[in-house]
Amino acid sequence: MKQLLSMKNVDLRVFFALFAFSLFATMSCDKDEDDPDPMDMPIDTMMVDTMMIDTMMNDTMVVDTMVIDTVVTYHSWNFTPEDYSQDAVQEALILMENRDTINFAAGTYEFVSGLSLLDKDSVVIIGAGMGETVLDFTNQTDGAEGIKITSDYFIVANLTVMNTVGDAIKITDSEHITFWQVETTWPGEASEDNGAYGLYPVQCSHVLIDGCVAYGASDAGIYVGQSEYVIVRNCTAEQNVAGIEIENTKFADVYDNVCTNNTGGLLIFDLPGLPAGQGSDCRVFNNTISENNFKNFASEGNIVASVPPGTGIFAMASERVEIFNNDFINNNIMGLGLVNYEVLSFLNGITYDDPDYISYPRAIYVHDNNFSRTNECPTELNSVGLILQSLFDDCEISDILYDGIVPPGELGPDEKLCVINNANAGLADTQLGEFPGGPPPIINPWDDYDCEGDVLPVVEIDVPML
């Protein structure tokens, strides 16, 4: 049942009255003879959206509208720590029908193999809360992921996935996806042997990641790749190589997140040679990007192994990105980097053959952010970090760095880099196109970036909600 909800100036009493009426009308008028009578269904299978209430009451919310599908489930598969097995859970994932729910009661569930959910529609996997329901893969010996999903209109909510061999939850080729208060974690010492990704939707559309936590991933804690129509909000990413990564993705809003103590807080990357082509139209706003100076523990050869400790936001080869109203705090090598992919390909000896790929960042609008930092460089720097440190004395590195490979004066009229109204920010054109042995950075060339870029539209998504 789809409802288009306005998120501004809504009287909650009117909202509940209209919602109750529409729910009753749909159940009364649209019911097939073979469908179970909703009045005969157990109360715990009637799932009605409550998260939207908080959204509507938030006066600072920038998102205006969202299409939602309220999930009404027909059958529940219930597990407790005392009454479950690997085989029983996997059997439920195979046998569950559209609109079914798998419920995990509070407690720890140990698995030695990956789980998979394939080709279902409108299903829910739910626990009792992050840290309350724990799916523990510490002893996993089989499978490349903890949970592998290819399904539409599904929800994963209120649980923790821990210590998977590979990615914690991987979703491919799916539409209308909601992650609500899901934690992925590798709580031990940071290691390249940790799983690469926590939450990992790829080649998906209409994705909501809300209120989630990602800790300890050796690539990205929250990664969205080759996808479109995405919202990542209210999440915390800590002690990952990349806290949040948006890669080759179109139409994404990333806001109200905390990225702290990662190698790089938030990456907006576009890489060559991928089927989806390059991304565009990404808004990054109202985030706290702080203390991202953690050592880089990605495996050698991984593209994020080039992210220097001390990175706040790293936009590489990106197009039409608006970065605003963020707090950058003590990201002590590169608060915000606007980078040409040629920099990383040169330093890593990478070649590529993609005639449609554009390697330099363009149409980037950076405005109304706050910057603060100390002059203490991270102690464990990779090669990129050492190069940047060498360009400045005593770690007095400008907050916003542009590589300068394509001089700003050579960018087309629709490709300008606009950087205005950023409190306490310094700016540097590092002129890496002539590295090594080239001229020193150009410090605070504000006139070259004094323009107003495009204010990008709000991203609207169609996702199921509890």
| 291 or 1, greater pLDDT | 291
| 20 or 274, greater pLDDT | 274
Query: Is 370 part of any domain?
Result: yes
* Per-chain mean pLDDT for the chain: 87
Q: Classify 99 in phi/psi space as left (phi over 0), alpha (psi -120 to 50) or beta.
A: left
Q: Are residues 189 and 45 in the same domain?
A: no
Q: What percent of the chain has pLDDT over 70?
A: 84
Q: What is the pLDDT of residue 10?
A: 37
Q: What is the pLDDT of residue 124?
A: 97
Residue 172: exposed, middle, or buried by beta-carbon count in 10 A (0-12, 13-18, 19+)?
middle
Mean pLDDT of the 165-185 span: 98
Exposure string of 9-22, with b = 16+ CB inside 10 Å and e = fewer, is: ebeeeebeeebeee
Query: Is 293 part of any domain?
Result: yes
Q: Are residues 53 and 174 in the same domain?
A: no
Q: What is the pLDDT of residues 23-56, one digit of tens each?
A: 444 433 333 444 444 334 333 333 333 333 233 3
Nearest to 39 by CA among 30, 50, 28: 28
Q: Are residues 172 and 317 in the same domain?
A: yes
Confidence of residue 69 (pLDDT cuts 50, 70, 90): low
Q: Determine the Cα angle at 156 with ends 243 and 208, to 5°.
A: 55
- Which of these three, 40, 62, 84, is where a domain ends? 62
Token pair, residue 133, equals 């329901």
Q: What is the pLDDT of residue 214?
A: 98
Q: What is the pLDDT of residues 266-318, one digit of tens each?
A: 999 999 999 999 999 999 999 999 999 999 999 988 999 999 999 999 999 99
Confidence of residue 74 (pLDDT cuts 50, 70, 90): confident
Q: What is the pLDDT of residues 124-168, one digit of tens each?
A: 999 999 999 999 999 999 999 999 999 999 999 999 999 999 999
Q: What is the pLDDT of residue 437?
A: 80
Please write down the long-range contacts of 146-149, taking CB distance under 8 Å and 24 or more positions apart: 146/111, 146/114, 146/115, 146/195, 147/114, 147/115, 147/116, 147/117, 148/114, 148/115, 148/116, 148/117, 148/118, 148/172, 149/116, 149/117, 149/118, 149/174
| Total domains in the fold of the chain | 2
Q: Are residues 46 and 174 in the same domain?
A: no
Q: Are residues 327 and 204 in the same domain?
A: yes
Asked whether residue 446 carries a pLDDT value surpassing 90, the answer given is yes
Weakest-pLDDT range from 31-40, 60-69, 101-110, 326-335:
31-40
Confidence of residue 21 (pLDDT cuts 50, 70, 90): very low
- Which of these three, 62, 78, 106, is where a domain ends? 62
Tell me the CA distances in angstroms from 283 to 72, 163, 456, one per residue in order: 32, 31, 7
Query: Is 49 part of any domain?
Result: yes
Query: Is 36 part of any domain?
Result: yes
Q: Are residues 282 and 395 in the same domain?
A: yes
Q: What is the pLDDT of residue 66?
A: 55
| 1 or 261, greater pLDDT | 261
Q: How many CB atoms lie within 10 A of CB 120?
A: 20
Q: Are residues 57 and 188 in the same domain?
A: no
| 210 or 71, greater pLDDT | 210
Q: Are residues 44 and 176 in the same domain?
A: no
Contact 155, 174 (CB under 8 A): no
Query: Is 96 part of any domain?
Result: no
Nearest to 360 by CA among 372, 379, 342: 342
Query: Is 404 part of any domain?
Result: yes
Domain that holds residue 340: 166-465
Q: What is the pLDDT of residues 342-363, one digit of tens each?
A: 999 988 888 899 999 999 999 9
Query: Is 340 part of any domain?
Result: yes
For residue 34, how far is the Cα from the chain centroid?
Answer: 40
- Which of these three, 62, 84, 106, is where a domain ends? 62
